[in-house]
Structure 1
Amino acid sequence: MSGPKETGGECLTILLAGPRGFCAGVDRAILIVERALEKFGAPVYVRHEIVHNRFVVESLEAKGAVFVDELDQCPTDRPVVFSAHGVPKSVPEAAEAREMIYVDATCPLVSKVHRESEHHHRKGCHIVLIGHAGHPEVVGTMGQLPDGAMSLVETVADVYALDVPDDKPLAFATQTTLSVDETRDILAALRERFPDIRGPKKEDICYATTNRQAAVKEIAQDSDMVMVIGAPNSSNSRRLVDVAREYGCPKAQLIQRAKDIDWDDFDGVKTLGITAGASAPEVLVDEVISACRDHFDQVTVREVVTAEENVEFKLPRLLTA
């Protein structure tokens, strides 16, 4: 067949961002569910999506995982895993009260934010959390402290509208999956309004979020379109779309699978940037590249690597004993 197969352009160059896809926290969370299934047999219950990706969730369901919204949907005689995003303290307390076996798959970098928040609270601080309302990680972090001990801000405007106690020092913490640039502006506003506000020893935004955003910045300026493979409820994936648009590619979009691609959008697209959120497996990237090969006569893939990652997190002792 001569010419393009469906899209209107003969050749397509794909700029493949690196790093992309699974981070160490997601790898660990998925492995925790798989090891729990091996140790305890099916079913193993999981409170909330272990990570924000339907492909991953459905793959684990096929192995015997049962995903539920709340703990009271789990029988007491089967183990339950808490998702990588973290949970309020009330959840493991309820599991203990019901004498359940539970495994906490909270990403260690999220746990670090929890510990820092508790540390500042013990020092008498009121905590300002930078994050997105309703996100499971934010719910989990705010649930580490008593009601009223933490205030949430999402924007610079929120900072200037913030009402905090006058008799307490302030400290801040950050959701780990935010936009690096957006958070920088919010932090600048916090420090301008509250010069003595205390922060973490090391920034809360995780290495994987930072690295994936840096890689997208690198490919966006040379791409006619950027596709981010990830779930619509994945904060880090949505931020990658925002970053691509801000750094030179207004035609950036989020897709979950190759079947979601609208090939009519490819008019005038000769260079396609591709990345994947931290909870999207590489098989979905391969699937999108394969679909591109089906729609173009010639596809050239060039990987653009801006960082190397070798982070690994240990599994909970319950699963390694």
Structure 2
Amino acid sequence: MSAAEKPPLMLYLAAPRGFCAGVDRAIKIVELALKAYGPPVYVRHEIVHNKYVVDGLRRQGAVFVDELDEIPETDQPVIFSAHGVPKSVPESAAARNMLYIDATCPLVSKVHKEAQIHRKRAREILLIGHKGHPEVIGTMGQLPQGAVTLIETVDDAETIQPKEPENLAWITQTTLSVDDTREIVKVLQRRFPSVVGPHKEDICYATTNRQEAVKAIAPKSDAVFVVGAPNSSNSQRLREVAERSGARSAHLVQRASDIDWQQIEGVRTVGLTAGASAPEVLVDEVIDAFRSRFDVTVQLERTVDEDVVFTLPRALREKVNQLDAAG
């Protein structure tokens, strides 16, 4: 089909989108560990929630496991994913004399520290998040069982009966809907006026920025596509935000081959973004797929610039530097 025969399409490309600093750091940790120690390098759980990324690291020699007991006796390192782990995991690794590297996002580690501070101050802790998500399991696992109560919805916030209503604190998962979380917090503050919140927002800068960017493109888009994994919380929230912000339809796709072209027949405007664990190569792939069917005009819609960078673990950096210096 020639360009003249293709129907026109305006594609609004959200910015910022894709990799955040925590994801970028976690992937680099695996890559540097492979360089420093050689394969195999073991990784507990998906390092980030993206099949393309995980498969790429697997080809380089990363071995992904669900639990530490799947790892044989070895001197090779094991890496903990960006989502964070319960305290019992590094304790188990240390008991087995494992060399472990923690790739937990520093913004998740911040929430862990908040939980520990509230515990020291004898506060009852409410965690706003999604049951079963690795980050929630990791955060709740920083403290003894029963020390943290999970709040998933506004209804939960309306009905919870804390043991000490005058001595409460709330923390959140970092990848939630900003708007949903705000509504839950409003209920908690109305019911428990003395409840203590974070000094600085727990929902991470990248989640907030990507949701704001989607809000900018959704009202003018017949359809919004979010490149991301089904088990990626921040990607699922982007799809929900797009729907609520005026897009006629919103779709989560892992890559271009997932697009159902019949679903979007007749569209003239499309919004495109990517979750924080989705690489830009998959965004390019989706754009190319649209170009093969439409005469595409791409318009970048930037709401904010990001310049956040997290440092890599010092011991790993030093080992790689020594190897580079040696040869």
Q: Secondary structure at the match of 2:203?
A: coil
- TM-score, reference length from structure 1: 0.97
Instruction: Say whether 1:177 aligns with 2:170.
Output: no
1:75 deviation in Å?
2.2
* % identical aligned pairs: 62
1:67 to 59, 64, 68: 64
Tell me the distance in 2 between the aligned counterparts of 1:133 and 1:266.
Answer: 33
Instruction: Report deviation, 1:250.
Output: 3.4
- Determine the C-alpha separation between the residues in 2 that align with 1:225 and 1:200: 36
**1:172: Cα distance to partner?**
0.5
Name stretches of at least 5 consecutive residues in structure 2 with no aligned partner: 319-327
Give the aligned partner of residue 47 of structure 1: 44
> What is the deviation of 1:76?
3.1
Aligned equivalent of 1:21: 18
CA distance in 1, matches of 2:264, 2:135: 35
- What are the residue-to-residue correspondences of 1:221-236 with 2, within 5 Å? 221-236=219-234
Letter in 1 for 2:15: G
| Cα root mean square deviation, aligned | 1.2
CA distance in 2, matches of 1:146, 1:250: 45
Pairwise mapping of residues 150-229 of structure 1 onto structure 2 (< 5 A)? Answer: 150-166=148-164, 169-229=167-227
Tell me if the contact between 2:124 and 2:164 (Cα under 8 Å) persists in the aligned partners.
Answer: no
The aligned amino acid for 1:262 is D
The amino acid that maps onto 1:258 is A
Query: What is the aligned counterpart of 1:307 among 287, 290, 304?
Result: 304
Q: Secondary structure at the match of 1:208?
A: helix
**1:228, 1:167 → 2: CA distance?**
40
Residue identity opposite 1:253 in structure 2 = H
1:274-313 map, 5 Å: 274-296=272-294, 298-313=295-310
Deviation at 1:168, TM superposition (A): 6.7
Q: Check whether the contact 1:125–1:168 (CA below 8 A) recurs between aligned residues.
A: no
Q: Secondary structure at the match of 1:15?
A: strand
1:111-126 mapped onto 2 (5 Å cutoff):
111-126=109-124
Please state how far the C-alpha of 1:317 moved relative to its aligned partner.
Answer: 1.6
- The aligned counterpart of 2:323 is none
Corresponding residue pairs, total:
317
Question: How far 1:4 moved relative to its partner?
Answer: 8.2
Matching of residue 263 in structure 1 with residue 266 in structure 2: no
CA contact (8 A) 2:256 2:289 kept: yes
**Displacement after TM superposition at 1:167 (Å):** 7.5
Q: Which amino acid aligns with 2:27?
A: I
Q: Distance in 1 between matches of 2:305 and 2:154?
A: 32
Cα offset, 1:268, TM superposition: 2.1
Spell out structure 1 runs of 4+ moving beyond 2 A.
1-5
SS in 2 for 1:264: helix
Rounded to whole Å, the distance in 1 between the matches of 2:215 and 2:56 is: 31
Gaps of 5+ in 1: none
Task: Give the whole-Å Cα distance in 2 for the aligned partners of 1:69 and 1:276.
Answer: 26
Q: How many angstroms does 1:200 deviate by? A: 0.9
Separation of aligned partners in 2, 1:255 and 1:185: 28
Paired amino acid for 2:199: K
Match of 2:53, as an amino acid? Answer: V
